[in-house]
Structure formats: structure tokens, C-alpha cells
Amino acid sequence: MNFTKVEFIKSAASPKDFIYDGLPQAVFAGRSNVGKSSVINSLVRRKNFARVGSQPGKTSQINYFLIDSKAYLTDLPGYGYAKVSKAERDRWGKLMENYFSQNGLITLGVMIVDARHKPTNDDILMANWFKEADCRFIIVANKIDKVKKSAINENAAVIRETLALSDTTPLILYSAVTGTGRGELIAAIENALVI
């Protein structure tokens, strides 16, 4: 898998549109503004593939991309965006409850957190959803270019501790800006999807 052929397939706002066709799915989640779109764009080496910047009204959709005709990159709507209305937050919650209550949709959970900060309560909830789903799970600590070298180990330890990660859960130090961690993330995705 080299992420050269990437196609947008569809957006899903309700369970009837979820894709469940047997192909493996790497499911990306993260707080709004954590850089989830930028991470996806850096993976597929496109500038504007996943939309950078929060889009009011678009926060309650799951976007499906097909990678090299072999696997889906499934982009869950970001969470924790302060300017979102209660109605939209409720829609997000319902969609996620529906999504995580289906069995076998997720082959690999890819959760993106900010390498600079302690994970938020929302991050902890999202990590717990992935842990309860019967899937593999990796953490991507994005914006590592903004962390002083001397603080990297400490920040990684805080992320591991706050999300109560098991020792076997990979934590990939990443920068969508410099490309740090890209090879490692691709290898982890390939390994988990067995493609």
C-alpha cells in the first residue's frame, strides 16, 4: 500500500450510509484543530484532500476514502470544537454512539492527539470507545515539531498515562508539517490492516 490512489467515496451522516463491505478500515478520530485533516493530507501527500479547518455544519459526517482500492481511511468528525451548537454536539454524539455500537466496522483505530498538551476529557472518552471496540488502536501525537526535544519523552509519558494506554499500544510522534512519523504511521496501518 503506497497511498498513491486515493478516492473520496462518500460522507455518512447516519447508520444507513456506513460502509461495511468487508474491506479493512483505518478509522481516524481527533479533537477539532488537532490537525486530523493535515495528518490525512500528509499521509496521502495531497494538499487539500481532507478539508483543513473546521467547517461548521460538517462536523456530523463520517467521510470515507478508498486507499489503493484495498482499504478505507474513515475520517470521523472532530470533537470538542467550542463554537459548535448544542444541537450539533448532540448530533455528533448520536452518530458516534451509532458508529461505535456496530460490530466489526473498525479494523484499526487511529486517534490523533496534540503532542504539546495533556489529552482532554473528550480525548479520554474517545480512547475508551476505541478500547471497547474490538479493534487495534494506535495513537498519533501530532504537532511534534512544536515540542522542544527535551520535552518529548515527558509529553509522550503524559499522553500514555492520561489515556491509560497499554504498553502494546503504539504512540507515534508525528508532524503533518515536517513529515516526521509518516513512514512509521504507514507501516502501522499496513501492519494492522494486513494489506
Binding region for ligand GDP (CB under 6 A): 30, 32-38, 52-54, 78, 142-143, 145-146, 175-177
Cα–Cα distance for residue pair 12/191, rounded to 1 Å: 27
Number of residue whose CB is nearest ligand GDP: 35
Name 146's Cβ contacts closer than 8 Å, sequence gap at least 6: 115, 116
Q: Which one, 23 or 77, has the nearer CB to ligand GDP?
A: 77
Q: Residue 36 in contact with residue 45, Cβ under 8 Å?
A: no
User: How far apart are CB 41 and ligand GDP at their closest, in Å?
Assistant: 7
| Least distance in angstroms from the C-beta of 173 to ligand GDP | 10
Instruction: For residue 174, give Cα distances in angstroms to 38, 106, 140, 147.
Output: 11, 22, 6, 11
Nearer Cβ to ligand GDP, position 35 or 119?
35
| Backbone phi and psi for residue 93, each to the nearest 5 degrees, phi listed first | -60, -40
Smallest gap from Cβ 40 to ligand GDP, in A, equals 8
Min separation Cβ 81 and ligand GDP, Å: 8
Q: Which residue has the cell 448530533?
A: 91
Q: Which is nearer to ligand GDP, 111 or 176 (CB)?
A: 176
